[in-house]
Chains A and B, each alone.
Chain A
Amino acid sequence: MLRANPFKHSCLVGLVLSAASLPALADGLTVVSWGGALQEAQTKAFLDPYAKAKNITVTQDTWSGELAKLRATVDSGNVAWDVIDVDPQTGATACDQGLLEKIGGDAGFKAAGLVDGALTDCAVGTSVYATVLAFQKQAFPTAPTKLADIFDTTRFPGKRGFRKSPVDTLEVALIADGVAPSDVYKTLATPAGVDQAFKKLDTIKKDIVWWEAGAQPPQLLKSGEVKLTLAWNGRIADANTKENADLGIAWTNQIRGFDMWVIPTGSKNLATAKDFVAFSVKPDVNAALSNHIAYGPTVKAASDLVAKDVLPNLPSAPQNSEGALAQDGSFWAKNGDALNARFSSWISQ
């Protein structure tokens, strides 16, 4: 107990006080996602209908995939989150470290008819998103067409945005350096491949503006802070429809991922949490998300239920799928720690 410092104590006192002033949350569910357009869509498609059907309170929180936060709550044994949205690499890494309940083996999820890769040991995919290249349409005479164009400072000068994470960033760097999408993870698994990716990033480092939350890229594009940026496709489509932005998307070599539900080890509402996850992969519920954000369903039976007019905006549309790369969660689970450390120190230099 010597190590427990006064700061920790005051936090504890604060927690106890705030817990005392809140009504009992035993029957509730706390769901955490990535904020902005995605979380709004999930609220409309999954959370609100579920809360209404079961007559429970669903509390929401947001995060940006900070594993350390999850690790801290699980290690402390005081888990306040019940269901969390992760991308494949966060899910696989957290699963590997024993931070998540292994719900993937449940018969119910196996029978849900999910597309390949959407069901893993710990995570149940609920939608398909893509990391794409988004740009201001008026900024360039010829529009960029593929993700690698973000490295082309001659044809596309100006500041460019990347997510402040090695995930997707290193993949795009290798593709831009001529590595075939199918060889990206094989190359990145070698020290020479990692060097190659960072060397490529060095060429445009001074032009990069780093973003952290998914809602930032459309904002950066609209304010003119960047002219092109890597972004999640649903956020860009959302800005175009809801905020009348005039942003373009280059789809070629999109990096496809799943938004997946996971349940942290030690969740106090395990049964309700599982029930909610199962609710999200009912075909009609699963298909409804596409009405609110341009992400595709993961349930095979849901694809026929998606409204026809949103189909061309989904990552799975054939015309968008050229050279697509699937984010390899297990690669990142294995190499993420080392690559993250190298990335953080590289970026601070």
Chain B
Amino acid sequence: MTLPYGDVGLVMTQTNTAPQVASPAAHVVVRSTIRRDNNRRAVRAALPAAPLMIFLLLFLVIPIGSIIHTAVSDREIWKALPLTTQALQAWDGDDLPDAAVYMMLGQELEAAGHAGSVRPLGRRMGYELSRGANIILNAQRTLSEDFDRAAPEAWKAQLIKADPAWGQSGVWSIIKHYNGRYSAFYLRWATGFPVKIDADGRLSQETSYDFQSIYLRTILISLVVTGLTIVIGYPLAYVIANSSGRTAAVLLFFILLPFWTSLLVRTMSWIVFLQTNGVLNNALAGTGLISEPLSLLYTRMATIVAMIQIQLPFTVLPMISVMRAIPVNQVKAARSLGAGPLLAHATIFLPQAVPGIAAGGLLTFVLCLGFYLTPALVGGPSDQMVSFFIARFTNEDLNWGLASALSTVLIFGAGLVALPLARHVARHSSDRI
């Protein structure tokens, strides 16, 4: 059966008028031909987008996938002590494991020593157990001494001699828990759950990073910056949208100016401006307003001010484009019907500008969540946002699991806020722009 190229209507007519001819097999042929045609057309239509798709795959999907993978990968314990973790599955967790398990662990530790996987194991234990690295390294060191290697009891004694922690349940319960390649350990850590225990198995009282308050701080700073850029940007966008020709061009030029300057340069200039003997302090002292220079640098205020300057164009530009599409006549009509200028603006203009405000605000908020450089340079230690800690754990502590988990939480957090809002903005602005 030959069909005109993809003509569905004709197919329907044919099958309807000659039902006795069209066998079920012919139906299938027709349907699959149509499908093949549609697929071919979809492929051809998608072809121009292929470079973008490949780019996104290589530089967005795969990296994010590998970050998530690193966040849930947790194989050091299982890799160094595979038999011990397996043997411990039968352990009830109340008393100490059998002496045979001690012997197995000791032998695996020695093998791990030759394979070079003891230090990664020690570091991993240290994340979850107070003095964890020392407990592992002490054990390995003491096992190289002379003792009766045939007797399990001797292995047990040797390990407990190496570190009393081996005579307590904490370390064993951790080893038992990790009998696979993946765990939610880093994600639990990154979302602020207490993860560290002492050798006796109880939660450690050691102070550790308070990630919940660090996320809260990140969100708070981003919200403040977003709010202030809207407050500052709204009148500006209004003026630009409603002025014509040269004025609008000049104002727009000033908005765009920061875009042409490197982020680093802009941030460094804030340091010059705000430091103790900097431009602002000297100016204030010159006018006699202050006698002692103010401490402006390395503060929350400095961070927020510098971020506002960087983010202002991102907030203002979407607002301008939406405001330009609002018909001027509607406000004029409201005025002619007796509304005052403020009332006309608030009831006619502002509601129509909301999609622009939301789009600009959303863009700024999401970008702010990931700020790293600016807080690091002009903020104090207590003004650092999540990205700072991601960088710290990546480059300095080399705790890639935790860094990836923090990134994963940040990505999903930002997505959770951004996606519904973005859909809302799209829905409400589609009929207007």
In the complex, which residues of chain A have a beta carbon less than 8 angstroms from the beta carbon of B86?
Answer: none
CA distance in complex: A86, B131 (Å):
23
Binary contact track A66-92/B, C-beta < 8 Å → 1, others 0:
101101100100000000000000000
Bound: A337/B209 CA distance, A: 14
The reply to whether the CB of A21 lies closer than 8 angstroms to some CB of chain B is no
Instruction: Determine if B261 is an interface residue (Cβ-Cβ < 8 Å).
Output: no
B90 to nearest A CB, angstroms? 29
Which residues does chain A contribute within 8 Å of B295, judged by CB atoms? Answer: 159
Bound Cα distance from A223 to B271, whole angstroms: 12
A345 close to B207 (CB less than 8 A): yes
Contacts of A225 in B (CB 8 A): 275-276, 297
Task: Kindly specify which of B32-40, B43-51, B166-174, B381-389 makes contact with the partner chain.
Answer: B381-389
- Listed stretches B18-26, B62-70, B149-157, B365-373; interface member: B62-70
B70 & A345 in contact (Cβ 8 Å cutoff): no
Interface residues in B100-122 (C-beta closer than 8 Å to A): 116, 119-120
Chain A nearest CB from B165 CB (Å) reads 14
The answer on a CB contact under 8 Å between B137 and A5 is no
B98 sits at the interface (CB 8 A): no
Docked-complex contact A210 and B276, CB < 8 angstroms: no
A-side contacts of B210, CB under 8 Å: 345, 348-349
Bound-complex Cα distance A3 to B401 (A): 11
A98 interfacial by beta-carbon distance below 8 Å: yes
Selected from A66, A98, A209, the residue in CB contact (under 8 A) with B396 is A66
A271 beta carbon closer than 8 Å to chain B? no
- Is there contact, CB below 8 Å, between A338 and B131? yes
**A69 contact set on B, CB distance < 8 A:** 396
Q: For A340, give the chain B residue with the smallest CB separation.
A: B397
Choose among A6, A97, A337, A347 the residue that contacts B66 (Cβ–Cβ < 8 A).
A6
Judge whether B264 is part of the interface by a CB distance below 8 angstroms: no
- A203 interface residue (CB < 8 Å to B): no
Let me know if A349 and B213 touch, CB within 8 A: yes
Residue pair A68, B63 in contact (C-beta under 8 Å)? no
CB distance from B117 to the nearest CB of A (A): 10
Contact at A223–B275, with CB atoms within 8 Å? yes
Chain B residues with CB under 8 A of A337: 126, 131, 133-134
- A341 on interface, CB distance cutoff 8 Å: yes
In the bound complex, residues from chain B placing their C-beta under 8 Å from that of A334 are 134
A346 within 8 A of B: yes
Give residues of chain B (374-409) contacting chain A, Cβ–Cβ below 8 Å.
381-382, 384, 389, 392, 395-398
- Which chain A residues lie closer than 8 Å to B133 at the CB level? 97, 337
**Contact between chains at B396 and A348 (CB < 8 Å):** no
At the interface, yes or no: A182 with Cβ under 8 Å from chain B? no
A68, A345, A348 interface centre (most CB from chain B within 10 Å): A348
Establish whether residues A75 and B119, one from each chain, have CB atoms under 8 Å apart when the complex forms: yes
A-B Cβ contacts below 8 A, count: 80
B68-85 near A? 1/0 per residue, CB < 8 Å: 011001010000000000
Given contacts A159-B295, A338-B130, A338-B131, contact A345 B209 (CB under 8 A): yes
Q: Is B214 an interface residue (CB 8 A)?
A: yes
B208 within 8 A of A: yes
Question: Given that A97-B119, A225-B297, A338-B131 are known contacts, is A348 also in contact with B214, CB under 8 Å in the complex?
Answer: yes
Using A159-B295, A224-B277, A337-B126 as known contacts, say yes or no to A342 and B207 having CB atoms under 8 A apart. Answer: yes
Report how far A66 CA is from B394 CA in the complex, Å.
13
> Closest residue to B404 on the A side, CB-wise?
A5
Residues of chain B in range 129-161 having any CB-CB distance to chain A below 8 Å:
130-131, 133-134, 137
Q: Which of B228-276 contact A (CB under 8 A)?
A: 275-276
Using A7-B63, A75-B120, A349-B382 as known contacts, say yes or no to A341 and B206 having CB atoms under 8 A apart. Answer: yes
Q: For A72, list chain B residues within 8 Å (CB).
A: 398
Q: How far is the CB of A102 from chain B (nearest CB, A)?
A: 14
Give B213's nearest chain A residue, CB to CB: A349
Interface positions, chain B 315-374, Cβ under 8 Å from A, are: none
Determine whether A240 belongs to the interface, using a CB cutoff of 8 Å to chain B.
no
Q: Does B293 belong to the interface (CB within 8 Å)?
A: yes
Give complex CA distance A75, B76 in Å: 14
Q: Is A62 close to B, CB under 8 A?
A: no
CB <8 Å contact, B382 and A342: no
Query: Nearest Cβ distance between residue B304 and chain A, in whole angstroms?
Result: 18
A196 nearest CB across to chain B (Å): 14
**Interface status of B178 (Cβ within 8 A of chain A):** no
In the complex, what distance in Å separates the CA atom of A134 from the CA atom of B385?
32
B398–A68 CB distance below 8 A: yes
Kindly identify, within residues 292 to 349 of chain A, every residue whose CB is under 8 Å from any CB belonging to chain B. 334, 337-338, 341-342, 344-349
Q: Are A341 and B396 interface neighbours, CB within 8 A?
A: no
CB–CB B207/A209 < 8 A = no
Of residues 48 through 72 on chain A, the ones whose CB sits less than 8 Å from some CB of chain B are 66, 68-69, 71-72
Complex Cα spacing A113 to B5, Å: 95
- With the chains together, A6 CA to B70 CA distance in Å? 12
Determine how close the nearest CB of chain A comes to the CB of B405; give it in whole angstroms.
Answer: 15
Which residues of chain B from 280 to 313 have a CB within 8 Å of any chain A CB? 293, 295, 297-298
Question: Which listed residue, B66, B70, B206, touches A342 by the CB 8 Å rule?
Answer: B206
| Chain A hits for B214, CB < 8 A | 348
A224 interface neighbour in B73, B130, B137, B276, Cβ under 8 Å:
B276
Q: Are B381 and A224 in contact (CB under 8 A)?
A: no
Would A97 and B297 count as touching, CB distance under 8 A? no
Alpha-carbon separation in the docked complex, A66 to B137 (Å): 21
A224 touches B382 (CB 8 A): no
**Taking A6-B63, A71-B398 as contacts, is the C-beta distance between A346 and B126 under 8 angstroms?**
no
Within the complex, the shortest CB–CB distance from B270 to chain A, in Å, comes to: 14
CB-CB under 8 A from A97, the residues of chain B are 119, 133, 137
Q: Report Cα–Cα, A338/B126, bound state, in Å.
A: 9
Q: 25 A-B pairs, CB-CB below 8 angstroms? A: A3-B70, A3-B73, A3-B75, A7-B63, A68-B398, A72-B398, A75-B120, A98-B119, A210-B381, A223-B275, A225-B276, A337-B134, A341-B206, A341-B208, A342-B207, A344-B392, A345-B207, A347-B381, A347-B382, A348-B209, A348-B214, A348-B384, A348-B389, A349-B210, A349-B382
Beyond known contacts A223-B276, A224-B276: 14 more, CB 8 A cutoff? A3-B70, A7-B63, A66-B396, A75-B119, A98-B119, A224-B275, A337-B126, A337-B133, A338-B206, A341-B206, A346-B207, A347-B381, A348-B209, A348-B381
Interface residues of B (CB under 8 A from A): 62-63, 66-67, 69-70, 73, 75, 116, 119-120, 126, 130-131, 133-134, 137, 206-210, 213-214, 275-277, 293, 295, 297-298, 381-382, 384, 389, 392, 395-398
* CB-based closest 5 A-B pairs: A5-B66, A224-B277, A68-B398, A347-B381, A224-B276
